[in-house]
Structure formats: structure tokens, C-alpha cells
A and B are shown apart, each in its own frame.
Chain A
Amino acid sequence: MTEARDLNSGAQPVVIEAKGLDLTFRTNDGPVQALSNVDLDIRKGDFVSFIGPSGCGKTTFLRVVAALEAPTGGTVTVNGMTPDEARRARAYGYVFQAAGLYPWRTIGRNVKLPLEIMGYAREEQDRRMKDVLQLVDLEGFEKKYPWQLSGGMQQRASIARALAFDADILLMDEPFGALDEIVRDHLNEQLLSLWNRTGKTIGFVTHSIPEAVYLSTRIVVMSPRPGRITDIIESPLPRERPLDIRDTAAFIEVAHRVREGLRAGHDDTV
């Protein structure tokens, strides 16, 4: 219990810091408040999950951190920079809901896409591509086209693509949402071990309670209308997590607390 907590609450520096974050979208049906007064610190090496019903702003928060949306109020810093600066400094890799591999590129060339854009030398591109494909267990698949791979393998390739340029932060927006449960379990396990090996900071959006509890060091429970944080749960689970940890009392307790948090947020608004 103690090791994970010490790592998160202790000396690790804050890499993502949000203060009083507000974001209001103008739509045809009037303004929609996607984020309201969100305060959150994410420390180096954290695995933070965002969970909540649709419309709670979990994806929006991630997109603000990635400078894909601009907040209408409050501040957010990434590695002490604005999100825009952080993006140019290649502070993060982003994994989308769909793998979104380019169908005209092989898996290898898909992984090299960010490296080409960022101007890495050719040998360096090859080396990094091989490294990250190995990291996600896809060595030997670099000459295949995306359609030749299963959905789970495609999503792994898209994670490799986000890892290729060695950003310290990985932002993942429901990356396994479209996969069946068995594939998802497998990928969760692989993701945890990847996180353990690389020490990256991960922000992970999901709407699966078991997934959030299994993966995270901290779980951010959010609720909609307006999108806000209703609970932040520090996980007492150790860093090393075999799949059957999900049957332990500690796991079930955390899952219960998440469910309670979700229900409370839901009751507020209905």
C-alpha cells in the first residue's frame, strides 16, 4: 500500500496543474459549460484516470491539456508551460478513442509519422520505431497495413505512435473503449507494465469503473452539467497489479467508492 502512495504524494514534481479551469462551448442551443472550476494537480509518474458519464468534461479536460481546446477561464500548465508551448516542446503523446492509423501507411510508417513531422533523422526514426513496437509487443508487424491487424493490435500501434517521440506524458482518451472485454483486459495489463517500465505520467479517460480502478494511482470522478470534479480517490493498490487483484477486497472497496461518487454526481443533476 505504502509504496504507491509515497510515490504519488511525496517528492514527485507536479507536471500538470489546473486551477479554476472553466470552458464554455457556444452551441446553437446556447452555451454549454463543459468544465466548471476544475482544480487538479497531476504529479510525475502518476496514472490518473478520469471517469464519469458522457458530458462530464473528462475528454474536454484532456483536450485542454493537449491544447486542442482553449479554456475560457482559469489556468492550466504542463511542465510549467502553457499547453501550447508544451505541445511544441513535445511534452505529451495523445492516444485517441479510435486507433486512427492512416490506412495508406504500414504500421511502421504510421509509428514514424510523428518522427517524420518532427524531423528526426532516418536511422533514428527506424531505431525508435523498432523500439516502441517492441514495447507494445508488435515487433515484426511493421510491414503490415492497418487493415491486416485486429482492433486491439491497431490500438497498440497507435499507442506506439504516441510513445515514439519519447514524451513524458501520455494522454489517452478512452483508448480501449471500442474493444471487447478480453482484449481490453489484455491491453490494460500491457499498459500497466509499460507504465511501470517507462515511468511516464498518464492521463486516461474511461467510463469503465474496473478499468479505472485497475490502472490508476488516482481516480478523478467527474459529473456533468456543468462538468466538474466530484471526487478524487487515491488508490491504495500497489504498483504491481496482476489481473486477479480485481478480486481483492481493497480493489472492490475502491470500485465501490468510485461508484458512490458517480451516483452522487448523478443525483445532483437529476
Chain B
Amino acid sequence: MSLTGPLAAPGAGTGRSGRVGLMLRGMGRTAGPVLAVVAALFVIWYAAAVWMNSQWTLDQAARADRTVTFSEIVADTLNQDRPKLPAPHQVAVELYDTVLDKPVTSRRSLVFHAWITLSATLTGFAIGTVLGMLLAVGIVHNRAMDMSVMPWAIASQTIPILAIAPMIIVVLNSVGVQGLLPKAIISAYLSFFPVVVGMVSGLRSPETQQLDLMKTYSASDGQVFWKLRLPASMPYLFASLKVAIAASLVGAIVGELPTGAVRGLGARLLSGSYYGQTVQIWSALLMAAACAAAMVGIVGLIQRVVLRRMGMER
């Protein structure tokens, strides 16, 4: 016998205060490594820019029949008009010009293009999420769907999206659907899958004992769904929504490529590659990455708020 009072009971003594402190300390500890990684990436990027663009510099010098010093090479490779790999500061200048310096309604504004793509992304994400959740509910409650839907869902994701995107666009165009919707459908095509997978595991996550408990109350299937399966699936749903929204963005960008669209981030990528505008390509890529990060961040924020209100996150 020792001095184990009620405090020794499992879960006693867990509180909020310690966790907040831990989190703050954790952030302080991760900031250093994160900055170090970013710095390393910049160093590698600059070195790669010098190396990859030097051939052009040397060719130009040879044509002009003069020799160049290393510092001249460096200075030239980081400021070419159409570098193979633009230097970070070139991309930064382009981003500044196209994001902050242009009116957002202008075709030359990256914000304008990003919004075109984002509207298709969000529409597709909404369609994909609803579709994914409905399929998951069907799979969990209907044996025939359980056996038949999942293999098709998996098969759908093995087809390269680049192959199927033009067909979706052409088919929809022939029935008169153009603009945002075809892109959104390609987005939905990519984003429903993680939602189905996550939601099915979530709806099946309640343990036997929790289901037995419902049985002892003679609960109906509907009651088991609303009071047990659905709330239990929320953490799973949010985890897959984060994957799904990033996939949606990829879908919307890919959807802009085959049409030769003139608006949207995909269009910027495409026209950049037509005209060798690598700086434009890279700034569109960074814009896309920033959009993805922001959307995943927002989903994460909603996740925290919802789960905290449900009492599932401390």
C-alpha cells in the first residue's frame, strides 16, 4: 500500500494549463529548425540557378569572343530574362509586380488568376466532399455498395488525371457546359476519393462496445448513425478534407491546361511554358503553393474549432 489517493486514478490531474505551455515551448523549439531548412533551400536554389543558367552566359560570352570572370557569371546568371531556373529574387519581384502592383481585375494580376482557379477549386471541393460523404454513408450501410463502390473509386484514381481531364472538358463542352463547372468537376474527381476513404474509416471507427451499448438501447440504424457513427467520424473527415482540398487545387489547375484557357493559374503556367517565361511559371507555382497552404490551414483551423466545440480536442 502506498500513498495512491484518487489522484492516481487514470486521467486525474490532466488539465489544460500544461498543454498550452508545452505547445508554446514546442513552437519555440521548431522555429529554429524551420528557418534553417528555409535558409538551406535558398542557398541550394541560388547555387542551382548559377549552375543551370551559366551555360547561356558562357555561350553569349563565347559568341562575343570574350572571357568572363566567375563574379560576372554569377551576376549574369541571377538576372537573365529567360533563365532556365529563375533566382528567388526574380520570382519575388515578379510576384510583387503581379500581386500587389496590378489592379485585381486586370488580366496581368496574379490575384485575378488565382481567384479564377480558387473558385473552381472550392466548387469542386464542395462537390467532392458531398459526393464522398454520401458514398461513404452508402458503403457503410449497404452491403451491395460496400462490395461494389470501393473498387471503382480506387480504379478511378489510378487513371492519370491528365488523360481524363481533356475528355471531361470536351464531353461537357459538347453538351454546352463551359467555364467553371468542368474544372470543378475535375477537382471533385480528385477530391472525393480521400473523403470516401477517410469517412468510411471514420464511420466504422466506433468500437464493438460502443455499438453494443446502442444495441442495449434498441437504437435504430438512424440513431446509431446520428448519435455515434457521424460524431465519431469527424476527426477522420477533417484529416481527409485537408488532403482533398489540396487535390482539388491540382484538379482545377490541370483542368485549365487542356482548354488553352487564358485565365487561371493553369493558364499562366501554360502560357509561361509557351513563351519560355520561366519567371512567370515559377511565380504561378508559388502562388498555387501559397493558395494550397492557406486552404489547408483554413481547413485545419475549422477542424480545431469544430473538434474543440465537440469536446474532442483539448
* B93 CB-CB contact with A under 8 Å: no
Q: A93: which B residues are within 8 A, CB to CB?
A: 216
Q: B14: which A residues are within 8 A, CB to CB?
A: 147-148
* A188 CB-CB contact with B under 8 Å: no
The answer, among A67, A98, A151, A178, for a CB contact under 8 Å with B209, is A98
Determine if A150 and B9 form an interchain contact, defined as CB atoms under 8 angstroms apart.
yes
* A105 CB-CB contact with B under 8 Å: yes
Q: B234: which A residues are within 8 A, CB to CB?
A: 104
The answer, among B8, B10, B218, for a CB contact under 8 Å with A182, is B8
The answer, among A68, A180, A183, for a CB contact under 8 Å with B215, is A68
Q: A90: which B residues are within 8 A, CB to CB?
A: 218
CB neighbors of A among B153-203 (8 A): none
B1-25, CB under 8 A of A: which get 1 and which 0?
Answer: 0001110111110100000000000
Q: How far is the CA of A116 from the CA of B232 in the complex (A)?
A: 18
A90-129, CB under 8 A of B: which get 1 and which 0?
Answer: 1011101110101111100000011011100000000000
Interface residues contributed by chain A, number (CB under 8 Å): 37
- When A116-B227, A117-B223 are in contact, do A103 and B312 touch as well, CB less than 8 Å? yes
Interface residues contributed by chain B, number (CB under 8 Å): 30
Determine if A150 and B10 form an interchain contact, defined as CB atoms under 8 angstroms apart.
yes
* A154 CB-CB contact with B under 8 Å: yes
- B98 CB to closest chain A CB (Å) equals 45
The answer, among A68, A103, A153, for a CB contact under 8 Å with B216, is A68
Q: B312: which A residues are within 8 A, CB to CB?
A: 103-104
Q: A67: which B residues are within 8 A, CB to CB?
A: 215
Q: A66: which B residues are within 8 A, CB to CB?
A: 216
CB neighbors of B among A220-245 (8 A): none
Determine if A147 and B228 form an interchain contact, defined as CB atoms under 8 angstroms apart.
no
Q: A179: which B residues are within 8 A, CB to CB?
A: 9-10
Q: A150: which B residues are within 8 A, CB to CB?
A: 6, 9-12
- B205 CB to closest chain A CB (Å) equals 12
CB neighbors of A among B231-285 (8 A): 231-232, 234
Determine if A147 and B216 form an interchain contact, defined as CB atoms under 8 angstroms apart.
no
Determine if A96 and B219 form an interchain contact, defined as CB atoms under 8 angstroms apart.
no
Q: A98: which B residues are within 8 A, CB to CB?
A: 209
* B305 CB-CB contact with A under 8 Å: no
* B89 CB-CB contact with A under 8 Å: no
The answer, among A68, A92, A102, A152, for a CB contact under 8 Å with B210, is A102
* A259 CB-CB contact with B under 8 Å: no
- A232 CB to closest chain B CB (Å) equals 26
* A149 CB-CB contact with B under 8 Å: yes
CB neighbors of B among A57-91 (8 A): 66-68, 87-88, 90
- B13 CB to closest chain A CB (Å) equals 8
Q: B223: which A residues are within 8 A, CB to CB?
A: 117
Determine if A145 and B6 form an interchain contact, defined as CB atoms under 8 angstroms apart.
no
Q: How far is the CA of A147 from the CA of B4 in the complex (A)?
A: 20
The answer, among B10, B210, B215, B311, for a CB contact under 8 Å with A151, is B10
Determine if A152 and B227 form an interchain contact, defined as CB atoms under 8 angstroms apart.
no
- B5 CB to closest chain A CB (Å) equals 7
Q: How far is the CA of A113 from the CA of B224 in the complex (A)?
A: 11
Instruction: Give 17 CB contacts A-B under 8 Å.
Output: A68-B215, A87-B218, A93-B216, A94-B212, A94-B213, A100-B213, A104-B312, A113-B217, A117-B219, A117-B223, A117-B227, A147-B311, A149-B11, A150-B11, A150-B12, A183-B6, A183-B9
